[in-house]
Each structure stands twice: as C-alpha cells, then as structure tokens.
Structure 1
Amino acid sequence: MANTLDFTKGHGTGNDFVLITDPAGERVLTPGLIAALCDRHFGIGADGLIRAVRSESLPAGEAILAEDPGAEWFMDYYNADGSTAEMCGNGIRVFVKYLIDTGLVTPVRGETLAIGTRAGVRDVQVSAQGFAVDLGRWRLDENGPLVHPRGVQVARPGLGINVGNPHVVVALADDSELEGADLSVAPILDPAPPEGANVELVVPRAHLVQDGVGQIRMRVHERGSGETLSCGTGIAAAALATRHWAGPGAPHQWRVEVPGGVVAVRMFPTEEGEHVSLSGPAELVYSGSVDLDRLRREG
C-alpha cells in the first residue's frame, strides 16, 4: 500500500505553503521530510509547510487553550528547511482559508477566529475582501545589528522589530539599490541574533504618504526559507520601522508593496498596548497527494 500524503498548495501574495490536515497530531514530520516536500525541484515546492492540528493534541496547545479556549486549531508552521517558526502573517491567512474550504471551520462573514500559534493566539477576521490578522503587541529594539546584504556596497544599521517572530529592517537609498540587492544568500548580521532573524530591505514610494496612508516597497530574506515573494510579519515589521523613522505625525496605516503583491498594515491602540494588523488575500491553488516513499530526501 502506498505511503501517501494528501496536501493542498496555497499562497498569500506569492508566499506559498504546503498545507496538510492532521487533527490528532499523529503524523511524524521530520525536518528532512518537510524540506523534501518544500523542495522546488524534487518535491511540491513551497516557502513552508503548515499542519492543521487541534490545539488539544499538541503540548503547546495547553497554553493556547488556557489563553483562549476558542482556539480549537493550531497552525503548526515550519520553514522550508524543516526548522520551526513562531508565526507567519501570510501563512495564517492561508491557514484560515484552508480551514474554511476543507470544512474544518464554518465561520460567518465578519466573524473572528482564534488560531493557536507558537507565538500565542492570533485573531483572524474573515471578510469579503480577504483576511485580517491581529498580530498582537510588537516590540522595538533600536540597537539592531549592522546589516550587509550582498550587492549593497555599504552596510546599514538595522532596526529590530519583533511581531511574534524576530525581524531586522533596513532602509535603503532608492529603488535601484533595492533591486540590486542579492537576497539569494542571507544578509550578514553583526552581531548575529542568537535565534536568527528575517531581514527586510525597504524604500519609500515616490510619495511616502498619500491620502493619509504610508507607502513603501520591500524585499525580504526569511530565515530558513531564503528570499520569498512576500512575508506577512515582515511586511508589518517594515511598516512599523518606517513609521518609527518618519517620527511624530507618521500615519498608522500603510500600504506595503512586495514582489508578490500588496498588503495593508494598520497600527491601533488596545488596553494592553499598541497592536499591529495585516490585511490581504489568501488563495488555495490545488490539492493532490504525494508518495512519500518516492520523495527524494535526506534525514
């Protein structure tokens, strides 16, 4: 009998994922298997893998359900190299789309779903325009590392932003410098963060603010995945960093252009402090099955 795995391929502005359902958390996912599935030449191909698991079926789910008993489903997310990640802003939108389309949840339009992640519970609102995820509180580290991307002549200071996972945001001079950066290799960070970090390169649009909305362009190198067409939490980090650099009077709404499309960011106050949210599309492309015994992998 064939050892097959049913999967669905999805993406959020080009940031793509392999999605699987494993409610009881019974399937063994080794880093080698995940890397093989995400391999773009010998596997399905993706920036990461997302497993839908009931929170009650995972050790990490105990804390999730204590935080919000309504967080029935846990987004078990892995980078393309098989390493774990705390959160994924594009991935969680695609994850909710997957839960809905596979009948695992049946929300009404406008309802908010609580989703468990390694960064805690995240609320996702379903609307006719797509999905909006509250990424929660964020943290600033002004003493970020010096960043030297390949293809950029002079190293630049980075601004550390944590939105559930770590980011370092770098301002570049202009579009030509942004386009000339080589993100096929990870930018050098000095000092290197112990857990690594995603790195975002940012330039403003011709008009930084138009009709009260900030506008920037961004490229990203994600730890464990390389350059991707989009990174949801990185988009939020880039908007937060640019607002910080712009100073008082900078807008709290941003339009961020990445190679895979455009995503909206909003900062808003809450009782526990300022939150940041991300709004954008989520698409499921196709479903299939893969014979795991024939999959080329190591480990």
Structure 2
Amino acid sequence: MNPQDRIDAVAALTGLAFSKVHATGNDFVMISAPAGERDVTAAQVAALCDRHLGLGGDGLIRAIRSESLAEGRAALAADPGAEWFMDYRNGDGSIAEMCGNGVRAFAHFLLLEGLAEMPADGLRIGTRAGVKVVRRSGDGYSVDMGPWEFIHPERAEADAMDSLVTTAGLSVPRPSLSVSMGNPHTVVALPDVAELAAADLHTLPAVEPLPPNGINVEYVVPSEPLVVDRVAAIDMRVHERGVGETLSCGTGICAAVVAVRHWAGPAGCDAAAWAVAVPGGVCGVRFVQAPDGAEHVVLSGPAVRVATGVLGV
C-alpha cells in the first residue's frame, strides 16, 4: 500500500474513537464495536498501525460482544461468561489467533471504558485460541494462557530441536524448538546477550520447516545460573509474524519459557516462577495444573493506556 492509500484509509475512519494501550511495550490500537457496528478492513488496520502515517501499533484490537461474531458465539458455547471477544489483527491487517500481551491490554481497556467489571473469579474473554481468564495481579494482570504443546512432539522429545532458523546478523543457522500457545512459535537459544543484540529482527527470519500460516520466532539467553531462589530468568527478543520485531510478545514469552525449561531438564523444573526480560519490560510466567490434569501457562505483567482520541477530529 502506497503512502497516499494509507492516508486515505485512515481518513475513511474519521470520527472513530480509539485508545492506545501497551503491555510491556507491545502496543495496540483499541476500538469498541459492541454489536459489530464498526468493521475495519485489513488495509485500514495496516494504515492505523503505521507508525508514520497512522496511529502506530503492533496490532489492532476490536472489542465486540461475543454474541455478535461467529467466533465469539463459539466462545460463548464453551463458556457463557465470555461476554466480550478480543477481535485481534496483526499490524499488517492479518488475523491472529491470540496475543498474551494483547489480552491483558484488552482487559484493561474494557475496565477503563466501563464495558466490564472484574469478577472475583476473573474476567473471561473470548479469543480465537479459546476463552482466557484475566485476573488482577500485583504488577497489573495475569492471564491463564491455557495449555501448551510442542508443534513437532516426536522431534522435540527425541532431540529437543525441530526446526532450523536463519537470522540476519547471526553467522550460521540455529536449531530451534517449536511450541504452540494457540499460535505458533519457535524458540532459538543463543549463548550470550552480545549475540542477542546482534540479531537483525527487522528482517524476516527463515524457518525450516515453515508452518503454512507462518510462525513467530523468539531468541533467548538463559541466565547463568538459570535458577536463583526458585526463580528462573531469561532475556528475550522476538520477531512477530505480520509485524516484525516488537518490544514484547506474551505468547512468545510463554513459549520461550516452555522451551528453556525443556532444555534445562531438572534445573528448569525446579523453578517456581520465571522472569522474562524483553526490550519493553519484564513479564512473569508460572505453570499450573488445570482440573483436567493439563499443564497451563499463566502470564503476568502490566498494561497501560497512554492515549485516547477520535480520528480526524
């Protein structure tokens, strides 16, 4: 899309009320359309998320009542408490299944706008990766991200690696481990923060084999020692599909912790909590057993609204 087309796409939305919310630097344009009365095309999303010709953002989230969207009605069928659906689009306008930072930011937006209240047992939110439960926590919000799984379980269990990633700025391709958090990730371990800084994540990494819908790529450096006082720490950067490098990625943080724990073996399993440092701040991760016996990942971190406004006014 050329610059004039992007300017025109934003102008076509004149009068649209919006908020800007970020969660550890992962920033989103937020709009409210309870009955689905305001649709936004992929081109308009890309224009709004343009950091020079639009508002700027890693993605756009539309707040819509679950009953007003087919995917939302499916969420309601699974959990009647999921009144609101997080209709999330990447910065290029493509639809994404889930965003861990986005769901915290979305809950914060709903509460600030008076569209929802925080129940004692958590706020249930419909997403394309199932219903997520958000609760208040000491540093903002925590969200049960649901169960994790290896994308290639047979290879992950055999050699702890399943893909090969070629990255601009790094001299040789690196092996990686792929994890699904409702959306796909592959995690690359690096030896030190110097290599982490050298990776050019504005350039799309080449992943082999590449899933049909693309994949997010996380680069991690575990602390040495990994675990201190039962808290494990890692540094991370991420290239998000459809966006490029972002300051944070909630599902990517979860996937990175799953991968590092798998590689670390007993030492990783000894950690009661994880602290993941990304360029936008620090998020916490812990594992819990669900009533059905599945292991879930809980992500915690802040969410901040930085601006509200009306387009073209």
Partner of residue 137 from structure 2, selected from 103, 112, 127:
127
Aligned to 1:226: 244
CA deviation after TM superposition for structure 1 residue 126, in Å: 1.8
Hey, what's the Cα distance between the residues in 2 that align with 1:77 and 1:274? 25
Percent of matched pairs sharing the same residue: 56
CA deviation after TM superposition for structure 1 residue 133, in Å: 0.3
Structure 1 consecutive aligned stretches of length 4 or more whose deviation exceeds 3 Å: none
The alignment's TM-score, normalised by the length of structure 1, stands at 0.94
Aligned to 1:89: 100
The alignment's TM-score, normalised by the length of structure 2, stands at 0.90
* 8 Å CA contact 1:111, 1:126 repeated in 2: no
* 8 Å CA contact 2:14, 2:310 repeated in 1: no
Hey, what's the Cα distance between the residues in 1 that align with 2:116 and 2:42? 28
1:117 matched to 2:138? The reply is no
Hey, what's the Cα distance between the residues in 1 that align with 2:236 and 2:266? 22
Hey, what's the Cα distance between the residues in 2 that align with 1:150 and 1:65? 43
Q: Which amino acid aligns with 2:285?
A: V
Report which stretch shifted further, 125-134 or 259-268.
Answer: 125-134
Q: How many residues are aligned here?
A: 291
| 1:126-167 CA distance string (max 9 Å, x none) | 235310000001101326320011111111111010011100
Q: Let me know the Cα RMSD of the aligned residues.
A: 1.5
| 1:115-135 CA distance string (max 9 Å, x none) | 000001001112353100000
Q: Which amino acid aligns with 2:248?
A: S
* 8 Å CA contact 2:60, 2:91 repeated in 1: yes
Q: Which amino acid aligns with 1:170?
A: V
1:5 matched to 2:25? The reply is no
Residue 60 of structure 1: SS of its match in structure 2? helix
The 1:266–1:85 alpha-carbon spacing in structure 2 relative to 1, beyond 3 Å, is same
Residue 158 of structure 1: SS of its match in structure 2? strand
Hey, what's the Cα distance between the residues in 2 that align with 1:134 and 1:33? 31
Aligned to 2:310: 289
CA deviation after TM superposition for structure 1 residue 291, in Å: 2.8
List alignment gaps of at least 5 residues for structure 2. 1-11
Pick the structure with more helix per residue: 2
1:72 matched to 2:92? The reply is no
| 1:172-191 CA distance string (max 9 Å, x none) | 11111000000011111112
| 1:76-95 CA distance string (max 9 Å, x none) | 00000000000000010010
Hey, what's the Cα distance between the residues in 2 that align with 1:106 and 1:239? 31
1:271 matched to 2:291? The reply is yes
Report which stretch shifted further, 39-48 or 205-214.
Answer: 205-214
Hey, what's the Cα distance between the residues in 2 that align with 1:196 and 1:158? 15
List alignment gaps of at least 5 residues for structure 1. 293-299
